Amino acid sequence: MSTIEHMSLDDLRIVLGWAAAEGWNPGLDDAEAFYAADPAGFLIARVNESPVAAISVVKQDERHGFLGLYICTPDYRGQGIGWSLWQTGMQYLEGMTVGLDGVVEQQDNYRQSGFELAYRNIRYAGVPLALTGKKAECQPADQRHLEAILQLDQSVHGLSREAFLTNWVSGTEHRRTLVLHQGDQLIGYGTIRACQQGHKVGPLIAPTIEDARTLLSSLSASCNASEIMLDVPEPNNQAVRLAQAAGLQAVFETARMYRGTPPDYHLQPLFGVTTFELG
């Protein structure tokens, strides 16, 4: 018989290890930032006290949640454990709009649970070419920039991600965030993090492709990234152009789906999705 509990931070590290084994390539420092977003939103199923399945159902603000990290270890698949987790997680987000990034083979199942397609995200990956951006200096993000980052991010995503971003944009050994200003105004920011393989960039937010190119180039150079991954919202044609100009190839796709009224997002400034796990 399985039981469902809230994860500890150590549990989350175990689950991210499962994700790595499945080829999801999580970031080396993801656990702490993910957990800070909503500690109650990470659930784990145990059999005889051993963890066997997990789901994240993070409350982003009062009206929006995001579902991810839905995974069951191979020996316990097909036994209804994952479905029980799903039901418990959706109860936690009852009455909220719920988003997810669904892989191709699971999208029909998500539709049956009331999720509808909003757009596709395409992962571009490869060895980045040298990019020439505008002559602008990107700065490492620090506490002085946090309020402006939160305001810009909310204008793009249509919801507040304060609990998550406060941790996410703080520098760690394997993750760093840069900001871009026009005069005294913060107009863009981006984060790059080391993963099991290569580096992922996300979010990448900028008003123009030139500004996004400046940030992407600076982020890649800041950690001597030999391979990067950029998850691009397909409706943003300029973001697709940027990824292709950087020499990256499309390797993977997900469907951004919502159950309930989607947030009032604006994709034109979004050149890179933050994560497929937390949106």
Say if residue 249 is in the same domain as residue 159. Answer: yes
Q: pLDDT value at position 2?
A: 86
Q: pLDDT value at position 5?
A: 96
pTM recorded for the entire structure: 0.95
Average pLDDT of 175-179? 97
Does some domain include residue 118?
no
Does some domain include residue 266?
yes
Say if residue 50 is in the same domain as residue 128. Answer: no
Domains in the chain, number: 2
Does some domain include residue 227?
yes
Average pLDDT of 137-163? 96
Count CA atoms closer than 13 A to 192's CA, side-chain side.
22
Does some domain include residue 114?
no
Say if residue 186 is in the same domain as residue 253. Answer: yes
Say if residue 132 is in the same domain as residue 211. Answer: yes
State what percent of residues in the chain have pLDDT above 70: 98
Question: Cα(85)–Cα(89) distance, rounded to whole angstroms?
Answer: 6
Higher-pLDDT residue of 135 and 22 is: 22
Q: pLDDT value at position 130?
A: 73
Average pLDDT of 177-181? 97
Say if residue 224 is in the same domain as residue 90. Answer: no
Say if residue 34 is in the same domain as residue 134. Answer: no
Helices (H), the chain: 9-21, 30-37, 81-92, 107-112, 146-157, 162-168, 209-222, 237-245
Q: Pick from 109, 140, 165: which residue ends a domain? A: 109
Say if residue 22 is in the same domain as residue 48. Answer: yes
Q: pLDDT value at position 133?
A: 56
- Taken in order 69, 75, 76, 79, the sign of the CA dihedral is positive
Q: pLDDT value at position 151?
A: 98
Whether 29 shows a pLDDT value over 60: the answer reads yes
Does some domain include residue 116?
no
Say if residue 94 is in the same domain as residue 156. Answer: no
Q: Pick from 109, 139, 171: which residue ends a domain? A: 109
Q: Pick from 109, 138, 169: which residue ends a domain? A: 109
CATH number of the domain encompassing residue 73: 3.40.630.30
pLDDT confidence bin for 170, thresholds 50/70/90: very high
CATH number of the domain encompassing residue 189: 3.40.630.90
Average pLDDT, rounded, for the chain? 95
> DSSP per residue over 63-132, as a string?
SEEEEEEEEE-GGGTTSSHHHHHHHHHHHHTTTSEEEEEEEGGGHHHHHHTT-EEEEEEEEEEEPPPP--
Say if residue 129 is in the same domain as residue 76. Answer: no
Whether 212 shows a pLDDT value over 70: the answer reads yes
Say if residue 97 is in the same domain as residue 131. Answer: no
- Taken in order 235, 241, 242, 247, the sign of the CA dihedral is positive
pLDDT in tens, 88-141: 999 999 999 999 999 888 899 999 999 999 999 999 999 988 766 555 689 999
Say if residue 232 is in the same domain as residue 129. Answer: yes
Q: pLDDT value at position 105?
A: 86
Average pLDDT of 241-247? 96
Whether 264 shows a pLDDT value over 70: the answer reads yes
pLDDT in tens, 34-87: 999 999 999 999 999 999 999 999 999 999 999 999 999 999 998 999 999 999
Q: pLDDT value at position 200?
A: 98
Q: Which domain holds residue 227?
A: 123-272
Say if residue 88 is in the same domain as residue 137. Answer: no
Does some domain include residue 115?
no
